[in-house]
Amino acid sequence: MAAFRHIPSIDVLLQQPAIAARAARQGHAPVVESLRAAADAWRTLAKADAAPPGDPAVWIAERAMEALETSLAASLRPVINATGVIIHTNLGRAPLANAAVARAMEVARGYANLEYDLEAGARGHRHVHAERLLCALTGAEAAIVANNNAAGTWLVLAALASGREVIVSRGELVEIGGGFRVPEIMAQSGARLREVGTTNRTRLSDYAAAISDRTALILRVHPSNFRIEGFTERPALKDLSALARRFHLPVFEDQGSGWLGLPQPGGWPEALRDEPSVGDSVGAGVSLVAFSGDKLLGGPQAGLIVGQRALVDQVRRHPLMRAVRADKQTYAALEATLGLWQREPARTEIPVVRMLLEPVEALERRAQALASSLGGTVKEGLSTIGGGSAPQSAIPTRLVSIRSTSKTAAQIEAALRAGSPPVIARIQQDTVLLDLRTVHPDEDSALQASVLNALGPAWPMG
């Protein structure tokens, strides 16, 4: 307890040259706050008779400097996704193609003709940038880029249906992912919900019976992250569109996944066979289709709205457009990604496409190499598409299973997360599993190093 007397005052600590220099650079207030916190920590230790030996002033100054350094470090950083979930919302969804990163960086570091018409030498519009490619890939007449799909859906409903009724099937009043609830978005847009049908069955006649002079539009939501099995029914999009046309009403679809459904030599995984595409919806006569840029499209976070020119123009003129517009980096990355989709052999440069198409034999080879360097074993398993696309869909993969004689699966998993770079793995039946489908081949050696580190000196595995 006598040691308490040795704690110098904050003012004295501030006179240490290193601390004074830090205060000059980083500001007086945060440095004082850090010193106080470190001094408190020392007092707590001293009370428990656990104070570190040596001069408390040195210990406090060191802790305070460490804390200040940590406070400057970025909190957002890259991780290795070894979960096998391709579109992992918590891990930032689609990784970008190199071409998309390069284009985004190019416009980010300087000025760009974002809203400038180079030919006319006058003010232009940002929406021209991705529009041509979006139309070419989906068959639509016009397109809008918003900040994300939730924003896009909100914008469309506010622009076309505020104060009026929107007809939706009860089976589609769903929550998608972390908190996108169709009824709540609807309420925020000022549109009034007119529910029809039941949770499992809604017929065309249910929609027809609900149409009145209060109706603004018919909304269709792709139930992307769940599936109602069994006794279900809902009208085909083309029949719903025909009904809406008879009453001069638009049909708006929240499609979600952004699956383009383009023909691919060698084919797409079986898991995507039933995934509806944006082009299918446009072809079925849907007036406006909204989807995410960073799901199966494999691009940046964005909300894309494609459809009929007159409606797109009407949506674009709404004041909320200004609040949900995308920035120049997003447009650049999006254009580059769409360009890769159009140039078929280059398409596999989009990481999502590469992950979807990577043959299980290639994964087997990579998994064997990793397993043998770690003493782990290779197992058959399933990757998932995730991100609210193709519910319950799975793609065959190979998993590296890791065990340790000295650590539990939970301890290994936590050590992997604490590593640099952090590795996010799954645990199944008390085993840590690494799925290489979502690990870029360039990351294999970093993954190996992180796993060795996490296992600690006490590996090999049992």
Ligand X SMILES: *Cc1c(COP(=O)(O)O)cnc(C)c1O
| Positions that interact with ligand X (CB under 6 A) | 148-150, 176-177, 180, 221-222, 224, 254, 256-257, 292, 303, 388
- Distance of closest approach, residue 70 Cβ to ligand X, in angstroms: 31
CA 56/CA 227 separation, integer angstroms: 62
- Distance of closest approach, residue 159 Cβ to ligand X, in angstroms: 17
CA nearest to 156, candidates 244, 248, 251, 61? 251
- Distance of closest approach, residue 311 Cβ to ligand X, in angstroms: 19
- Distance of closest approach, residue 256 Cβ to ligand X, in angstroms: 2
Q: Which tokens is 184 given?
A: 């709540």
CA 134/CA 371 separation, integer angstroms: 42
Nearer to ligand X, 92 or 375 (CB): 92
Nearer to ligand X, 68 or 150 (CB): 150
CA 334/CA 331 separation, integer angstroms: 5
Neighbouring-strand partners of residue 217: 166
CA 190/CA 157 separation, integer angstroms: 8
Cα within 13 Å of Cα(245), Cβ side: 11
CA nearest to 173, candidates 248, 223, 229? 223
CA nearest to 237, candidates 274, 193, 281? 281
- Distance of closest approach, residue 122 Cβ to ligand X, in angstroms: 33
Q: Does residue 332 contact residue 104 with C-beta atoms inside 8 Å? A: yes
- Distance of closest approach, residue 130 Cβ to ligand X, in angstroms: 15
CA 364/CA 435 separation, integer angstroms: 10
Nearer to ligand X, 257 or 287 (CB): 257
Of all residues in the shown chain, the one whose CB is closest to ligand X is 256
H-helix or E-strand spanning residue 181 = strand 180-181
- Distance of closest approach, residue 255 Cβ to ligand X, in angstroms: 6
Nearer to ligand X, 255 or 383 (CB): 255
CA 407/CA 161 separation, integer angstroms: 57
Nearer to ligand X, 38 or 237 (CB): 237
- Distance of closest approach, residue 250 Cβ to ligand X, in angstroms: 18
Q: Does residue 283 contact residue 139 with C-beta atoms inside 8 Å? A: yes
Q: Which tokens is 329 given?
A: 């980096």
Nearer to ligand X, 59 or 180 (CB): 180
Nearer to ligand X, 235 or 256 (CB): 256
- Distance of closest approach, residue 92 Cβ to ligand X, in angstroms: 12
Answer whether the bond into residue 351 is a cis peptide, omega within 30°.
Answer: no
Nearer to ligand X, 95 or 381 (CB): 95
CA 134/CA 426 separation, integer angstroms: 36
* CA-to-CA separations, 75 to 3, 78, 79, 82, in angstroms, rounded: 36, 10, 12, 20
Residue type present at position 21: A
CA 12/CA 267 separation, integer angstroms: 71
CA 340/CA 334 separation, integer angstroms: 10
Q: Does residue 155 contact residue 206 with C-beta atoms inside 8 Å? A: no
Nearer to ligand X, 67 or 91 (CB): 91
Nearer to ligand X, 30 or 391 (CB): 391
- Distance of closest approach, residue 233 Cβ to ligand X, in angstroms: 20
